[in-house]
Amino acid sequence: MNSRIQIGAAALVLVVGLFAWPAANGEKQADEQPHSLEALLKERQATLRQLVEVVTAGYRQGTMGYDAVARATEQMLDADLALAEDADARIAIFQRRIDLMESVLSMVEANFATGQASQAQVLTARAELLESRILLAREEARGDRRQP
């Protein structure tokens, strides 16, 4: 009987501990979050810059496709955009994105001509280029409205 009480007490302590530990740990994590939004954005930007370097090196070695380079670069440009401080900086980023999408489309079209890409891939690349041009046009229109 005494062992039943000990086992029951141990189980109770274990259950209470399992429920109390996440709450206590969550409070500790909340106190230890010194990262501001800007710091997180900058860390993401730096991480994506590293990713672009790694993927580009893989492309040069023949272990990664150009589409991986384009996607990583696009993500990096999105991170740059999140940190852009004014319309001129955003416009420059949108222009770099257009340049990237134009090179992707050219590559996909060349691959399509040799049977290495599908029509769907060509259409997707063209749609992404058009989306980039739309984003630039919207940013330029927004900038025009702000100027006297």
pLDDT single digits (tens) 81-124? 999 999 999 999 999 999 999 998 998 899 899 998 899 989 99
Provide the mean pLDDT of the chain: 80
**% of residues, the chain, pLDDT over 70:** 74
Beta-carbon neighbour count of residue 22 at 10 Å? 9
Element counts in the chain: helices (H) and strands (E)? 5, 0
pLDDT value at residue 67: 82
Read off the tokens for 146.
Answer: 């702000």
d(CA 46, CA 27): 29
Residues 58 and 125 in one domain: yes
Position 147 confidence tier, pLDDT thresholds 50, 70, 90? low
Residues 43 and 29 in one domain: no
Q: State the residue for tokens 């010194």.
A: 34
CATH of the domain at 100: 1.20.1440
Residues 84 and 125 in one domain: yes
pLDDT value at residue 107: 87
Beta-carbon-side half-sphere exposure of residue 54 (alpha carbons within 13 Å): 8
| Identity at 81, one-letter amino acid code | L
Residues 23 and 86 in one domain: no
Position 32 confidence tier, pLDDT thresholds 50, 70, 90? low
Residues 15 and 52 in one domain: no
Overall average pLDDT of the 56-76 stretch: 87
Give 49 or 29, the one with higher predicted confidence. Answer: 49
Position 17 confidence tier, pLDDT thresholds 50, 70, 90? very low
Residues 42 and 24 in one domain: no
Residues 93 and 123 in one domain: yes
pLDDT value at residue 141: 93
The total domain count for the chain is: 2
Question: What is the domain extent for residue 121?
Answer: 37-146
Give 129 or 10, the one with higher predicted confidence. Answer: 129
Residues 15 and 50 in one domain: no
Residues 92 and 110 in one domain: yes
Residues 66 and 136 in one domain: yes
The pTM of the full predicted model, rounded to 2 decimals, is 0.67
